Amino acid sequence: MEFRTEHDSMGEMKVPADRYWGAQTQRSCENFRIGTGIETMPAEIIHAFGVLKEAAAMANLELVPDRMSARKAEVICRAAGEVARGELDEHFPLVVWQTGSGTQSNMNANEVISNRANELAGEKLCHPNDDVNMSQSSNDTFPTAMHIAAVLSLENSLLPAARKLADTLRGLEERFRGLIKTGRTHLQDAVPIAFSQEISGWRASVERGCELIVSSLEGLRELALGGTAVGTGLNAPEGFDAMAARKISELTGTGFRPAGNKFHSLTSRSEIVAAHGAVKALAADIMKIANDVRWMSSGPRCGLGEIRIPANEPGSSIMPGKVNPTQCEQATMVAVQVMGNDAAISIAASQGNFELNVFLPVTAYNFLQSVRLLSQSITSFTENCVAGIVPDRQKMEQYLHSSLMLVTALNSYIGYENAAKTAMLAFREDISLREACVKQGFLTGEEFDRIVRPENMI
């Protein structure tokens, strides 16, 4: 491998010749040999750095043209745009387990953009600190990158996936309207419910999860950029925060604004905690829906067997013909991971000291992993399971008419205690509710048939 020599304030470092990063990035590579090699800074953060560096260069050009020339701004914006589009991902090697402020990843972005800009300019025109990092600090850029990445990943990945699931459920709801089955509470038989009503509960849960996520976006739209090192805005020109936020909004196509209190935005991660809480809420509902689906499809002969789901792959290496609810299983495992990530994010957010929180990389890593996994999981669950759900009408009818909880319809006619006696006698002697009610003289058979009609109980 060929190397070139780069230098920073601590001296010279040898850097791979085919990489745009510089001395500070190389120091981080050598000082933080931690993890499996895949726990690198999320691509979403890298791309967000590209966006904010381009926006910062444009804002500096307007506000401090004596320091940010048009030529410098042009090549910085071109290089930063390549970073934002993911064209230079291989030049961002740093692991999550680095400095807690993300300083080394900010410098990684500065060095890559500076060296690429100089290459585009054909001369050594831009300095990573003086030009690419102008009016900024790692302490305000990394929180800004986190918020940009969070908003874009929620809007572009998770919300579309969840809304598609809700639409698919709405389709099932319409298709199976009028089909009545037994309800269940406490895993025990309960009064009747329409299958469409049960599905509507799933659909509404997903829709509410989307609403909570959308509400959480408002806090994430506030950016720390302009606070620089401790929130005072030292070395940033007046109006830089507002102008940079406008530029970021234009580049991303979604709204951002400067944080009202930069001291809060540097040290508190409450917006990330709240947004991930909404992600966790959706994951909890996905867990519930997936469990319902696998309970209802259990069997096919010795379980509930009320619905059938697509048979996607063989379920056993030893039991021929076995098919398992694998999409339900992946969805519930992902939900567990999201819940675990929420604990890590909450603990990390609680550790802000004085003017800075130094658990930023692990917070970003866990947040974006949750969004990425849940988005992909929901899409897979929707396409490979939910869309193919088919009710077993015969099984549903069998359970419906054998349910002892149909006795609930008798409360208003023979009273709760007599209805309870009817249910217990039917269970004890393994006879129908009708037989038990008539046997005890509470009603005639004709009266029972008139009162106990499942279609009137939903």
Q: How does pLDDT run across 353-385, given as a tens digit for each residue? A: 999 999 999 999 999 999 999 999 999 999 999
pLDDT of residue 37: 81
pLDDT of residue 376: 98
Q: Using CA of residue 294, residue 295, residue 299, residue 305, what is the dihedral sign? A: negative
pTM: 0.96
The contacts of residue 369 (CB under 8 Å, 6+ apart) are 42, 337, 341
The stretch 115-131 carries a mean pLDDT of 98
Superfamily of domain 403-456: Fumarase/aspartase (C-terminal domain) (1.10.40.30)
Residue in the block written with tokens 């003017």: 355
Q: Are 378 and 165 in contact (CB under 8 A)?
A: yes
Residue 316: active-site member: yes
Question: At residue 268, does pLDDT exceed 90?
Answer: yes
CA 438, distance to chain mean position in Å, is 56
pLDDT digits (tens, 9 = 90+) for 344-354: 999 999 998 99
Give the separation between CA 150 and CA 262, rounded to whole angstroms. 19
Residue in the block written with tokens 């890298």: 46
pLDDT digits (tens, 9 = 90+) for 399-444: 999 999 999 999 999 999 999 999 999 999 999 999 999 999 999 9
pLDDT digits (tens, 9 = 90+) for 164-200: 999 999 999 999 999 999 999 999 999 999 999 999 9
The stretch 72-87 carries a mean pLDDT of 98
Q: What single-letter amino acid sits at 409?
A: A
Per-chain mean pLDDT for the chain: 97
* Domain locations in the chain as residue ranges: 3-134, 151-221+261-393, 403-456
Per-residue pLDDT band at 36 (split at 50, 70, 90): confident
Q: Which of 124, 149, 166 is nearest to 49 (CA)?
A: 149
pLDDT of residue 38: 87
pLDDT of residue 134: 98
Record: fold of 3-134: Fumarase C; Chain B, domain 1 (1.10.275)
Give the separation between CA 339 and CA 344, rounded to whole angstroms. 9
Dig out the tokens for 93 from the structure.
Answer: 């090697």
Catalytic residue among 316, 350, 402, 412: 316
Give the separation between CA 100 and CA 187, rounded to whole angstroms. 46
Residue 135: active-site member: no
Q: What single-letter amino acid sits at 333?
A: M
Dig out the tokens for 139 from the structure.
Answer: 């302490």
Peptide bond into 314 cis (omega under 30): no
pLDDT of residue 177: 96
Superfamily of domain 151-221+261-393: Fumarase/aspartase (Central domain) (1.20.200.10)
pLDDT of residue 1: 86
Q: Are 20 and 107 in contact (CB under 8 A)?
A: no
Give the separation between CA 111 and CA 80, rounded to whole angstroms. 11
Dig out the tokens for 59 from the structure.
Answer: 């804002």
